Amino acid sequence: MNTRCTWDLFCTVIDNHGDLGVCWRLARQLAQAGQSVRLWVDDASALAWMAPDALFNSLQDIQVLPWAEASEPELLARLPAADIWIEAFGCTLPQAFVTHAAATRHTQPLWINLEYLSAEDWVPRMHGLPSPVMSGPAKGWTKTFFYPGFTEGTGGLLREADLLTRQQDFDREAWRQQHAPRLAPAGLLISLFCYEPSALPQLLTALAGTPHHLLVTPGRPLAAVQQALKSLAVHPSWSALPYTDQNGFDEMLWGCDLNFVRGEDSLVRALWAGQPFIWQIYPQDDDAHHAKLEAFLNWVQAPESLRQFHRVWNGVEMGDLPTIKAHWLADGSASTLSARDRLLHQDALVSQLLAAR
């Protein structure tokens, strides 16, 4: 049986679909495992659609608190001390919060630095290493690096206990009929969740005149498509999707034949979906994301046609996007399903966190 603990989970929002999405999934899964979670976040606005009221209120073991309140002495004095702290994605805990804890606690909490996801070979070497706090009010305490990953020796990936059951019970044909009722028999249903890739006009041009239909997610993807279409004489068949909760996003990935995903959270969901996908990695100014992309393509054993598509889509290489063809979709599906099978034989991220207490 799991011992019930209190977790303080800290998140600063850079991309509310990504950072907050991961932290909300983590909070949900900890709560479902019988844990009590306080999610401290500087911008919780995306939870209005990511975790609608019916879902939000059903999880009484999650408390969402404004980041600024972590610096209020009166509130901190009333709150029970947490057993575990998680600072997500390198965020720095508020100084007042750490100062209060150092002054009032007899022992330090388990302090976890939850890092970004990568398939690079250094990740297993870094996972679980201690990081002594050398200065400040918590001097002498220790943080622990926790690296999510795709292989044994890493922290694993977020995966709900009922994920495969939900996927098995999903009515794919009904979903497709609802979202693309006029899809031609030979047409592919394609989802688009992206930033602003320079190759987007290429994709839209390639889809024009085909029986395929593009489902565009809201926010930056929709704005990027609308902007790109202004310069195109011929438009593909497409429609815009509304904002949806996280379960609804999963259903979109399950229902489509090809998924374009971005960042960390949707990459993991695309892997669990088992459908062919194209990933747009979060771009970094020093192009460090190029090596991360190649490491992932190597791990997933992507066929060459999909590797080339990824490189052009991510701006790693210039040139034309490969034509979307049935044979490379089949190869992509096979590599994704093989990767998913490997992941299912590994401990999920929350299981590993619970074991680390």
- Catalytic residue positions, numbered: 19, 264
Nearest to 281 by CA among 171, 202, 195: 195
Tokens of 338: 């093989």
Rounded to whole angstroms, the Cα distance separating 14 from 246 reads 18
Rounded to whole angstroms, the Cα distance separating 253 from 255 reads 5
Q: Phi first, then psi: what are they for 238, rounded to 5°? A: -155, 160
Rounded to whole angstroms, the Cα distance separating 117 from 109 reads 24
Contacts by 304-313 with C-beta closer than 8 Å and gap 24+?
305/331, 306/276, 306/278, 306/331, 306/332, 306/335, 309/278, 310/278, 310/279, 312/199, 312/202, 313/197, 313/199, 313/203, 313/260, 313/278, 313/280
How many residues would you count in the chain? 357
Q: Which DSSP symbol is given to 86?
A: E
Rounded to whole angstroms, the Cα distance separating 34 from 72 reads 28
Cβ–Cβ < 8 Å for 10, 88: yes
Give residue for tokens 């899964």. 29
What ranges in the chain are assigned the alpha helix state H?
Answer: 19-32, 47-50, 53-58, 73-78, 95-104, 123-126, 163-169, 172-179, 200-207, 220-229, 246-255, 265-273, 288-300, 304-313, 326-344, 349-355
Instruction: Supply the angle between the helices 326-344 and 304-313 in degrees, to the nearest 10.
Output: 90
DSSP SS3 for 113 = strand
